[in-house]
Amino acid sequence: MNHRSRHCVLAAGLIAAFGCQPSEPPPEASVPSPAPPPPNIVVIVGDDLGYGDIGVYGSEIPTPHIDQLARDGVRLTDGHVSAAVCSPMRAGFHTGRYQNRFGWEYNPTDHDLGLPLDQKTVANHFQDAGYVTGLIGKWHLGVPEPYHPLHRGFDEFYGILGGVTSYIDSRLPGTHEWPAERAPTTRTRESQVIRDGFEVIEVEEYLTDVFAEKAVDFIDRHADERFLLMLTPNTPHTPLQATDEYMERVQHIEGDGARVYAAMVVSLDDYVGDVVAALRKHDLERDTLVVFLSDNGCIDYMAEPICTNAPLAGYKRYHLEGGHRVPFILKWPAGLPQGEVYHGLASALDLYATFAAASGIEADSPDSVDLLPHLRGETSEPPHEFLYWRAAPNIAIRWGKWKMWKVNNTNIEIPAGPPGQVLPSMAYPPDDSPMGQTTVLYDLEADIGETSNVADQHPEIVERLERELEAWEAGLSAPLWVNHRGTLHSLQGQTVQLFF
Ligand SMILES: [Ca+2]
């Protein structure tokens, strides 16, 4: 009923034509609950945060504020991002379209690259609709000035243009870095320096805390306006750095690296708590749609394990579930149920249509589905029948419980040491598969950890999914640049090569 009456309010001119509003309500009729007003929107995107690294998703890391978001909103168990690494995920997230449609296939290795200027961002749409728009944190969609967030739909920007930077000078007392012998990370590159708008500034305090202060400041300044605030702290991406304040709360975590990582997750949780408290202070909590998610799975390329995507297989860079299925929570007291867990197949690409629907804005993406009716239980259909991933030539697809992944074979030997080591440039173009591909099919209902390849038992499923992939690829562009980076993984006894 909410959905229908809301539609009527927004399409005021069509009320008479469609008869949404009864001309004379029956005297005994109960008063329909009014549609929620267009909300403010706050999205918090963690970075390389594992599916299993939040309390409510099974972690021992204390994350009371994120857990509370889940209790006050809807928690997704099958929510995905459109890439298994940072930059292409953000290209999808910021446009609401598969980034492969416009060639943003891999993490950019050339700093002249930027999100193609013909791509309109979600922030562009909301800016056009009169929202105040802010981005605080990591952009990772181009360092050169034409690609700057202030030219891509944001009224305000505070953060880094690249994908990684230092959190603090770890030579300072009260700081911790792992590995400890690591040279202190600097902010020397254009991509690493902190910017307030276009201006490069010096920041000495722990960066996650500074980003939290800036988020609260944005809410304080714009409490009387409608705003879209995208918060993209790089936490807990490497370098692993934390302060005493957070380390004290994770002393129960085993492993030196895992403990610093956990402290960073706690700092991210405090950040979420600060944002929610700021909304509450201004009495905006009920009418603000808050979303929390990670940009991809956690990593496997440190000297010891630091994080977990449990119960999922794979990590960042992998098109196994642990690479792209992420913690994903939506909270909107005025417009969504509270304390629900939702199991339908959903994507971060859907946030665009969801925000648009909540705000009465028309969304124009073939890839983005309004999640609201699904999360409200108004339909039992999942938002997506299929989801797709491609880091060409590797490609993957979900169809209900089925997951298929086609990945390049190689005869390069996996080097000793930690997994996920980056290989030097390839001798052949990585958009080719000179040694063929391995195809795996998993039944996630029976095998959530993707351990048992059932492709041979279900050739008809493999064939169907290959047809679906072919149809999807027909709508994509060739990658804008050739990626020469990759890493190796042993899959079903075959060494395969991941690209990112
Ligand atoms: Ca990331």
Dump the DSSP string for 161-199: SSS---SS-TTSTTEEEESTTSPPP---STTTSEEETTE
Rounded Cα–Cα distance for residues 185 and 105 (Å): 28
Give yes or no: residues 390 and 304 share one domain: no
Q: Ligand 1 centroid to 51 CA: how many Å?
A: 13
Q: Ligand 1 centroid to 237 CA: how many Å?
A: 7
- Could you report the per-residue pLDDT of 207-239, keeping only the tens digit for each? 999 999 999 999 999 999 999 999 999 999 999
- Could you report the per-residue pLDDT of 85-118, keeping only the tens digit for each? 999 999 999 999 999 999 999 999 888 999 999 9
CATH number for the domain spanning 76: value is 3.40.720.10
Is 230 inside a domain boundary? yes
CA angle in degrees (0–180, nearest 5) for 119-324-462: 100
Note the pLDDT of residue 162.
96
**Of 491, 495, 498, 320, which is closest to residue 426 (Cα–Cα)?**
498
Rounded mean pLDDT, 282-296: 98
Rounded mean pLDDT, 237-257: 97
Note the pLDDT of residue 428.
61
Rounded Cα–Cα distance for residues 334 and 380 (Å): 21
Q: Ligand 1 centroid to 86 CA: how many Å?
A: 4
Q: Ligand 1 centroid to 143 CA: how many Å?
A: 17
pLDDT > 90 fraction of the chain, expressed in percent and rounded: 84
Which of 12-16, 262-266, 421-425 is most confident?
Answer: 262-266
Rounded mean pLDDT, 321-345: 98
CA-CA-CA-CA torsion sign (150, 152, 156, 159): negative
Domain boundary among 375, 397, 423: 375
Note the pLDDT of residue 185.
67
Q: Ligand 1 centroid to 301 CA: how many Å?
A: 13
Q: What is the mean pLDDT of the chain?
A: 92
Q: Ligand 1 centroid to 87 CA: how many Å?
A: 8
pLDDT tier at 429 (50, 70, 90 boundaries)? low
CATH number for the domain spanning 421: value is 3.30.1120.10
Q: Ligand 1 centroid to 246 CA: how many Å?
A: 21
Note the pLDDT of residue 486.
86
Is 7 inside a domain boundary? no
Rounded mean pLDDT, 430-458: 94
Note the pLDDT of residue 26.
44
The environment of the single-atom ion ligand 1, i.e. residues with CB closer than 5 A, is: 47-48, 86, 295-296
Q: Ligand 1 centroid to 12 CA: how many Å?
A: 42
- Could you report the per-residue pLDDT of 290-323, keeping only the tens digit for each? 999 999 999 999 999 999 999 999 999 999 999 9
pLDDT tier at 423 (50, 70, 90 boundaries)? confident
Give yes or no: residues 310 and 405 share one domain: no
Q: Ligand 1 centroid to 35 CA: how many Å?
A: 36
Using CA atoms of 296, 298, 299, 303 in order, give the dihedral in degrees to the nearest 10.
Answer: 170
Give yes or no: residues 309 and 343 share one domain: yes
Is 15 inside a domain boundary? no
Note the pLDDT of residue 4.
34
Q: Ligand 1 centroid to 47 CA: how many Å?
A: 4
CB of 46 closer than 8 Å to CB of 294: yes
Is 19 inside a domain boundary? no
The single-letter DSSP state of residue 144 is S
pLDDT tier at 3 (50, 70, 90 boundaries)? very low
385 pLDDT exceeds 90?
Answer: yes
CB of 295 closer than 8 Å to CB of 47: yes
**Of 215, 104, 112, 235, which is closest to residue 165 (Cα–Cα)?**
235
Rounded Cα–Cα distance for residues 207 and 41 (Å): 23
Which of 3-12, 47-56, 279-288 shows the lowest mean pLDDT across its residues? 3-12
How many domains is the chain partitioned into structurally? 2
Q: φ and ψ at 263, to 5 degrees?
A: -60, -35
Q: Ligand 1 centroid to 45 CA: how many Å?
A: 9
Q: Ligand 1 centroid to 48 CA: how many Å?
A: 4
Q: Ligand 1 centroid to 4 CA: how many Å?
A: 38
Q: Ligand 1 centroid to 349 CA: how many Å?
A: 16
Q: Ligand 1 centroid to 239 CA: how many Å?
A: 12
Give yes or no: residues 119 and 268 share one domain: yes
Q: Ligand 1 centroid to 137 CA: how many Å?
A: 12
> Structural domain of residue 467, as residue ranges?
386-499
Is 429 inside a domain boundary? yes
Is 266 inside a domain boundary? yes
How would you class 386 by CB atoms within 10 Å of its CB: exposed for 0-12, middle for 13-18, buried for 19 or more? middle
Residue with tokens 């991509």: 191
Note the pLDDT of residue 32.
53
Q: Ligand 1 centroid to 459 CA: how many Å?
A: 34
pLDDT > 70 fraction of the chain, expressed in percent and rounded: 91
Tokens of 314: 């794979």
Q: Ligand 1 centroid to 236 CA: how many Å?
A: 9
pLDDT tier at 347 (50, 70, 90 boundaries)? very high
Which of 18-27, 190-199, 264-273, 322-331 shows the lowest mean pLDDT across its residues? 18-27
Q: Ligand 1 centroid to 195 CA: how many Å?
A: 20
Q: Ligand 1 centroid to 151 CA: how many Å?
A: 23
Rounded Cα–Cα distance for residues 256 and 304 (Å): 9
Strand (E) or helix (H) holding 86:
helix 86-95
Q: Ligand 1 centroid to 332 CA: how many Å?
A: 26
Rounded Cα–Cα distance for residues 478 and 457 (Å): 33
Domain boundary among 348, 375, 402: 375
Q: Ligand 1 centroid to 374 CA: how many Å?
A: 27
Give yes or no: residues 303 and 407 share one domain: no
363 pLDDT exceeds 90?
Answer: yes
Rounded Cα–Cα distance for residues 498 and 500 (Å): 7
Note the pLDDT of residue 183.
65
Which of 16-20, 177-181, 259-263, 496-500 is most confident?
Answer: 259-263
pLDDT tier at 24 (50, 70, 90 boundaries)? very low
Q: Ligand 1 centroid to 490 CA: how many Å?
A: 23
Note the pLDDT of residue 12.
36
CA-CA-CA-CA torsion sign (456, 457, 458, 459): positive
- Could you report the per-residue pLDDT of 123-143, keeping only the tens digit for each? 999 999 999 999 999 999 999
Note the pLDDT of residue 13.
33
Is 404 inside a domain boundary? yes
